[in-house]
Amino acid sequence: MKVLITGIDGYSGWPLALHLLRRGHEVVGIDNFVTRKRVKEVGSWSATPIGSFAKRQEAVDRLLGKKITFYKGDMTKFPFVVDVLRREKPDTIVHLAEQRSAPYSMIDVDHAVRTQVENITGTLHLLYAIREATPESHLVKMGTMGEYGTPNVDIPEGFFEIDYNGKHDRLPFPRQAGSWYHWSKVFDSGDVMFATKIWNLKSTDVMQGIIYGTRTPEITDDALLTRFDFDETWGTALNRFAVEAVLGLPITPYGKGGQVRGFIALEDSMQSLRLAVENPAKSGEYRVFNQFDAAYTINDLAELTHRVARDLGLNPRIEHPPDPRVEAEQHYYNPIHENLPALGYKRSRNLEEVLREIFKDLIRFRRRLEKRRHVVMPTVDWRQGDNTASLGARHSGGPAAPTPPTASEDPSRTPA
Amino acid sequence: MKVLITGIDGYSGWPLALHLLRRGHEVVGIDNFVTRKRVKEVGSWSATPIGSFAKRQEAVDRLLGKKITFYKGDMTKFPFVVDVLRREKPDTIVHLAEQRSAPYSMIDVDHAVRTQVENITGTLHLLYAIREATPESHLVKMGTMGEYGTPNVDIPEGFFEIDYNGKHDRLPFPRQAGSWYHWSKVFDSGDVMFATKIWNLKSTDVMQGIIYGTRTPEITDDALLTRFDFDETWGTALNRFAVEAVLGLPITPYGKGGQVRGFIALEDSMQSLRLAVENPAKSGEYRVFNQFDAAYTINDLAELTHRVARDLGLNPRIEHPPDPRVEAEQHYYNPIHENLPALGYKRSRNLEEVLREIFKDLIRFRRRLEKRRHVVMPTVDWRQGDNTASLGARHSGGPAAPTPPTASEDPSRTPA
């Protein structure tokens, strides 16, 4: 199959490209490199050194003997999107090109608007481009488990059958997102569902759990590494905890730490996306996959990180700063995930073994972390309308802000 | 109370201003006149002649002895929004300033994006401005009954209590909107619900039924008339039917005509909004009102229009063109509406008597309708990605398109 990956330069996009290439698929990519830019904007960088996209392409050529066709451009420009589709006629489009950080969306009014506007504009452009150029393409769109929030009932895969006041229906499951970013993904889901209905498209909406890991089997060389973010804005809780342990900082689960979320290893997320790609939705079908492997509390992650760190001779302690988010710190959580297992999904990695692998990489790249140790702790508070002042304060303790750090992410210019 | 109405120049905004003034409230307004501009863009105008906003203000001064403070500006400019709030410190903000046409949103990709981007940007700006300038203000935000779609179960007011897999919760009722416009209102609802939670705001979300009528008790003079749209893009089904009857055209319910919707008279919609304004939500409360009075099928409207028209000596016939929308043409429909009656809402007008009043006005302004008879029939098809060609074809049968019509809506310059 020919697969177009929008956001191919990102944390998931890059290993997905490698995985699909190894499976014999043809890969075309789009990116505007905005994540690289915005990670710099908050004074951080990837823990793993990543080369320019041209270097990534060269590495794929040299190490895997494969080519990736790449278009630099922005999903908010409709002519660009429709031109790529017309030229490439992909069988499948995996849409990952979105602003993906909840804290970024909560910085202030401009970041809130930018997040929602960019994400829905890109998705609408892609839907119209598919309608116009490749109506037979299968769209695999990246959503998030965070769209559902934490209801006190089981979370089905997108739709549920209910009885209400004596009548029966199958309805979309209610969404209760927890940040402007998560709401933007809810909005995208609505738009994809609607477009699929009116234009008879084929779509898979992936409610993605939180991904962990630095590695997939295809990452056989440092030149093939994917990015790994650990700052408060772009990194996940587990990433932050592991980096905190390596840097000798306290491990910091927010609030009580009873928040439960669905998680999945990077390798298993790639397996899942590949299963979606290789088993397309039917015409007019809008299907939803809850794409996670197991649920953990934030305290589970903190304690596991603590234990693995001690095994490695590190000696972190656990501290609970106040939760900057507005979320339940203790709650019921039981999402259903049957659609991917029905297509053959099998867990290949478990959390502890992946965490040990993450530590191995982080210790190798410890000097890169040391240089950015000030970006790990939260400064963006959900209850504040404007967090720019506290961000500024953090910057002033760190390197060269508001001017972005001058060191490039190109490994040829940075010590690894 | 001091009430800020965003979109004060619109079909609902203007009579709401008059109604609140008569009740002794202070009224401040915002508008950017984009509806006037966009109605011209599709080659149409208001059936009722409406003056410039300055003339409207003069008429209010002369006929009611009241003042309206007005700010011309755009909700997509955050400094404008926050400045008005800081200066005026309203007790209540009624947010009506949105792109409000479903067919307009379905014209092509640009109109789809514009609708969703403008609406969510304006609402986010207003939410942040309230957070910053007037966190005690009560926000009354205009949504639509169309957010719910047509589920096979009763439609509660925003939230429902359900049992699912043996557990219980109170959840937002699922939304299944039927156009990009209707989805934009769903998105706004999500954003208002979330902002209310994280910032402890006060909000009322109005799921507005389709409004009918040209008159409220406060419209005592032609200089106080509100706009009345009848073209396929900006007019409702009932408006189109009445105009078709006056012009000797067939009355045209789309498809089978079994589509059921909730309706409310203009006067009763104003009563409802006033009840929301005078009985504000509590801090941290996000409440939803299903604001309609009775449900009718499109055929009910067509047949009633036919009957009233015959009584007036007109002799229209009913024709069923194919439905350009993607919607169920026969379905269950039972929305609950108890919140407004609990605040004292009582129906003051019924459909037939209001329809006779509409005909009276339309017959007075018949010459204005004659000049725009080509804009009544649908050219925007939900199944098409790009409807600009068919819009263009219609324009060429009408006046001066793509150049907008040159006649002003100012009654001093147009024959009435």
pLDDT single digits (tens) B140-163:
999 999 999 999 999 999 999 999
Q: With beta carbons less than 8 A apart as the criterion, state whether A122 and A186 touch.
A: no
- Annotated domain spans of chain A: 2-397
Contacts of B120 in chain A (CB under 8 A): 113, 116-117, 120, 187
Contacts of B112 in chain A (CB under 8 A): 124, 128
Q: What is the pLDDT of residue B389?
A: 81
Residues of B known to be catalytic: 144, 181, 185
Q: What is the pLDDT of residue B117?
A: 98
Architecture of domain A2-397: 3-Layer(aba) Sandwich (3.40)
Which amino acid does the sequence have at B277? V
Average pLDDT over residues B208-222: 98
**CB atoms inside a 10 Å sphere around CB B329:** 16
Q: With beta carbons less than 8 A apart as the criterion, state whether B157 and B337 touch.
A: yes
- pLDDT per residue over A119-174, tens digit each? 999 999 999 999 999 999 999 999 999 999 999 999 999 999 999 999 999 999 99
Contact across the interface for B171 and A176, Cβ inside 8 Å? yes
Residues of A known to be catalytic: 144, 181, 185
Contacts of A173 in chain B (CB under 8 A): 174
Q: What is the pLDDT of residue B379?
A: 85
Q: Scanning every residue of chain A, which has its alpha carbon at the shortest distance from the alpha carbon of B194?
A: A178
- Cis preceding-peptide flag for B402 (omega within 30 of 0): yes
Average pLDDT over residues B372-382: 88
- pLDDT over 70 at B396, yes or no: no
Return the H-helix or E-strand segment holding B125.
Answer: helix B109-133
Q: What is the pLDDT of residue B393?
A: 63
Contact across the interface for A164 and B167, Cβ inside 8 Å? no
- pLDDT per residue over B310-340, tens digit each? 999 998 999 999 999 999 999 999 999 999 9
Of B210, B333, B101, B149, nearest to A197 by C-alpha is: B149
Q: Scanning every residue of chain B, which has its alpha carbon at the shortest distance from the alpha carbon of A190?
A: B183
What does the alpha-carbon distance between residue A243 and residue A250 come to, in Å, rounded to a whole number?
10
Interface of B with A in 81-140 (CB under 8 A): 108-110, 112-113, 116-117, 120-121, 124-125, 128, 131-132
Sheet holding B260-265, edge to edge: B210-212, B260-265, B294-297
Q: What is the pLDDT of residue B410?
A: 44
Q: Which of B74, B80, B163, B198 to mutate to test the interface with A (most CBs of A within 10 A)?
A: B198
B332/A400: higher pLDDT: B332
Contact across the interface for B383 and A198, Cβ inside 8 Å? yes
Going by pLDDT thresholds of 50, 70 and 90, the confidence category of residue B401 is very low
Going by pLDDT thresholds of 50, 70 and 90, the confidence category of residue B395 is low
Average pLDDT over residues A47-58: 98
Contacts of A125 in chain B (CB under 8 A): 109, 113
Q: With beta carbons less than 8 A apart as the criterion, state whether B375 and B43 touch.
A: yes
Q: What is the pLDDT of residue B213?
A: 98
Of A152, A164, A383, the CB nearest to B160: A164
Q: Scanning every residue of chain A, which has its alpha carbon at the shortest distance from the alpha carbon of B126?
A: A109
B319 secondary structure, DSSP code:
-
Share of chain B above pLDDT 70, in %: 94
Contacts of A124 in chain B (CB under 8 A): 109, 112-113, 116, 180
Going by pLDDT thresholds of 50, 70 and 90, the confidence category of residue B179 is very high
Share of chain A above pLDDT 90, in %: 90
What does the alpha-carbon distance between residue A60 and residue A63 come to, in Å, rounded to a whole number?
5
Instruction: State the Cα angle at A377 between A375 and A379, rounded to 5°.
Output: 90
- pLDDT over 80 at B400, yes or no: no
- 3-class secondary structure, A121: helix
Q: A–B: how many Cβ contacts below 8 A?
A: 145
A389 in B contact zone (CB under 8 Å): no
Contacts of B110 in chain A (CB under 8 A): 78
- pLDDT per residue over A225-255, tens digit each? 999 999 999 999 999 999 999 999 999 999 9
Q: What is the dihedral of CA B59, B64, B69, B73, to 10 degrees?
A: -40
Contact across the interface for B154 and A131, Cβ inside 8 Å? no
Of A3, A40, A33, A44, nearest to A377 by C-alpha is: A44
Residues near B107 by beta carbon (within 8 Å), at least 6 away in sequence: B380, B387, B388, B391
B78/B388: higher pLDDT: B78
Contact across the interface for B187 and A116, Cβ inside 8 Å? yes
Complex-level ipTM: 0.94
Average pLDDT over residues A57-80: 98
What does the alpha-carbon distance between residue A230 and residue A214 come to, in Å, rounded to a whole number?
12
Taken in order A48, A52, A58, A64, is the CA torsion positive or negative?
Answer: positive
Residues linked to residue B142 through DSSP beta bridges, in sequence order: B206
Average pLDDT over residues A290-305: 97
B80 in A contact zone (CB under 8 Å): no
Helices A78-88 & B109-133 angle (0-180, nearest 10): 140
Q: Mean pLDDT over all residues of chain B?
A: 93
- pLDDT over 80 at B398, yes or no: no
Contact across the interface for B180 and A124, Cβ inside 8 Å? yes
- Cis preceding-peptide flag for A341 (omega within 30 of 0): no
Give the distance from residue A247's alpha carbon to the nearest chain B alpha carbon, in angstroms: 33
Instruction: Give the CA distances from residue B212 to residues A165, B49, B208, in Å, rounded to whole numbers and listed in that order.
Output: 30, 17, 12
- pLDDT over 50 at B35, yes or no: yes
Q: What is the pLDDT of residue A281?
A: 98
Q: What is the pLDDT of residue A395?
A: 55
Q: Scanning every residue of chain B, which has its alpha carbon at the shortest distance from the alpha carbon of A179?
A: B194
Q: What is the pLDDT of residue B378?
A: 80
Burial class (CB in 10 A: 0-12, 13-18, 19+), A159: middle
Helices B237-246 & B351-364 angle (0-180, nearest 10): 50
Q: What is the pLDDT of residue B155?
A: 98
CATH superfamily for domain B2-396 = NAD(P)-binding Rossmann-like Domain (3.40.50.720)
